[in-house]
Every structure is written in C-alpha cells, then in structure tokens.
Amino acid sequence: MEGLSISHANQPVLLAYGETEWNRIVLLLFDPNASVPTAAIKLPRTPVFNQQVEWEHDILRELSSNLAPPIRRSIPTSALFRWNGLAVSAETCVTGSSLSSRAGPAANDALEDLRLTVAWLASFHRETTIDTVPAREWLTQRLVNGMCADYAATFWLTDAETRLFATLSQRLDVAGPGLLPIVWQHGDFGPPNVYLDRSHVSVIDWETARRGPALADLLYFVTDWSAAAAGRASDTERLEHFESLFCAGSPADALTRAVHGEIAEYMRRVGLPASLFGFLLVYTFLEKALERARRLAKLGRPDAARRAGNRFVAYVGVLAQYAHRLFGEERN
C-alpha cells in the first residue's frame, strides 16, 4: 500500500504477485484517515488451503514464545479463528517500508539496508539454531542423494548439470569435518517480505518457514536484492548479474564486494565453515527450482516441470558452468 494517497484509501485494491498459488486472500485493515494498515486478515480461498494459514499461525506463535524480545518485536503476532469452515488469521502489521520499495540504482543507503538485514538474519538464525549436524553426512543425504535426485527426476539434465552433480558427489571431502547449523528458515526471505523502519528490521509472511540449513535464506535474499540494487530488471540482466555475483572470481564492484563481505560476516556469526559455501549455493537454487515446479503442479499447470520460465533452473545452469571453480578451492 506504499504510495497510496489517503484520498484513495477507502477504495478496494487488489494486490497480486503473478506466481502466487492464489490459495488465500489478505485483507489490510486501516484506521480512519490512516495511510498504513494496522492489521492483516488472512483467509484461504477454500478449506483445502486451511493448512497454510494454520501453519503460519503456529510458526508465529512458536517464534513469539521462544525468541528474545529484540527479535520477537520484529515479527507479527497472530490470532487464529474459524469462519464458515475456514481457518482465518489476524496478524499485526509491521512498520516501515519493504526493501523492494527501497532498492534500485538510485536508492540511498542501500548498503546500510543490506548490513541491517544481514545482521538481523544472523541474529535470528543464531537464536533459532535447532541442531548442528555433521556437514558431510548431511550433504550426502540431503543434497547429493536427495535434492540432486529430485531435480534430475523433475527436469531433464543438461550435460553441464550432470557434471555438476558428479562433482558434488566426488568433492564431498572439500566439506571437511565441520558442522552445519540447522535453523528456522523463513523460506521466502526476499525484499518484499523485509521491512525497515529507520534501523529496525521486521519480517512478514512466514507461511513457508521450515527447518533447514543456515545460509539458504541469505543467498536467496542477496540474489534478488542485489539485482534490484544494480538496476538489473530483465531476465537476461538478472541471469548475468547472478553469474557475476557468485561465479566471476574476485568481486569487481562495490556492491558485489559488499554482498560478499556480508555473506562472510553472516557465516562467521552463525559458525558456518567457509568450505560449505559452494554446496549450499547449489542446494539453495535446486530447492527453489523444485519449489516452483511443485507450486505450479499444485495448480494443475501442465508446464510445471518445464525448464523454460523457471529462473531458478537458469541459475542452476550458471552454477553448473562453474562447477570446477565452485569446488576447486575453499571460499576465502
């Protein structure tokens, strides 16, 4: 609702994102003459989708019970009730503006926005670390035998991807004997869901939260945020940006250097060995590619498993071209 004048605040407005499942409706409630909402009402389109609303409510309730006050204040609170067979949640609204409205080549303080967001995520993941597991065993089971196999079964593999998967299996020794933190992932930690009010960070839309490896949320975030900050809007530009961000060797510009610096600081704070970076980079975008395919399949889309149009498949293709660089040596 950012940018909506008060004179239009009494008019219904439909806000939609083109790849959503259309499984729910969100109503924003405004006080009289207010320009920002005070509450959000989330209800599923049909009872079939009750689970998503109930899951987000349960996640927010668990986080509110377990987080320390500084982090707890950065997420919405939720109440759940039933109406006509539907699970309906009422959530508080956060303050500030979303990073998707602040990013862009002309944005002021973009690097400070990045620093604040990464600091928040590191604190959140430190506080929500559920377990630390032997990294090599986890990568063998969840990445090589799990995610790679699912990806191969869903999409046909290019020769480069076949080589990438073989390299992952052959280079597991690079992961070393270190431990991998398992944390509460947001699952959709993109700029639209991160809000800043001066230096205070808030995060909304927790319906895809789950337990998973540290770093994945951050890799997804910096991919989208840095593309917007660099003014890369088209699919081709975003793909080129992804390649320069993760595969071009030494960072060549201030934005890329800042992103790499924040990734390194995050990994230090959560206790993530540098040797795991390449593995988790591949894991993150295999998972995103599969999530998109499954979401489309739920909608009955016949093109759910098509490679074309799935930008995360394109990202995996870029990583496949640089498998030797990603796993030839540890990240500095």
**pLDDT tens digits, one per residue of 67-99:** 999 999 999 999 999 999 999 999 999 999 999
**Res 6: pLDDT:** 46
**What is the spatial distance between Cα 238 and Cα 234, in angstroms, rounded to a whole number?**
6
Backbone angles phi, psi at 211, to 5 degrees: -80, 140
What contacts 200, CB < 8 A, 6 or more positions away?
Answer: 74, 95, 96
Q: Are 178 and 275 in contact (CB under 8 A)?
A: yes
The residue extents of the domains of the chain are 6-93, 98-328
Q: Which CATH class is domain 98-328?
A: alpha beta
Query: Burial, 72: exposed, middle or buried (Cβ in 10 Å; 0-12, 13-18, 19+)?
Result: middle
Is the pTM for the entire model greater than 0.85?
Answer: yes
Give 277-322 as a DSSP string. Answer: HHHHHHHHHHHHHHHHHHHHHHTT-TTTT-STT-HHHHHHHHHHHT
147 pLDDT above the threshold of 80:
yes
3-class secondary structure per residue, 82-102: EECCEEEEEEECCCCEEHHHH
Q: CATH number of the domain at 6-93, out of 1.10.10, 1.10.1760, 3.40.50, 3.30.200? A: 3.30.200
Find, among 287, 58, 41, the residue nearest to 151 by Cα: 287
Backbone angles phi, psi at 228, to 5 degrees: -65, -40
Angle at 101 between CA 96 and CA 105, to 5 degrees: 130
**pLDDT tens digits, one per residue of 202-245:** 999 999 999 999 999 999 999 999 999 999 989 999 999 999 99
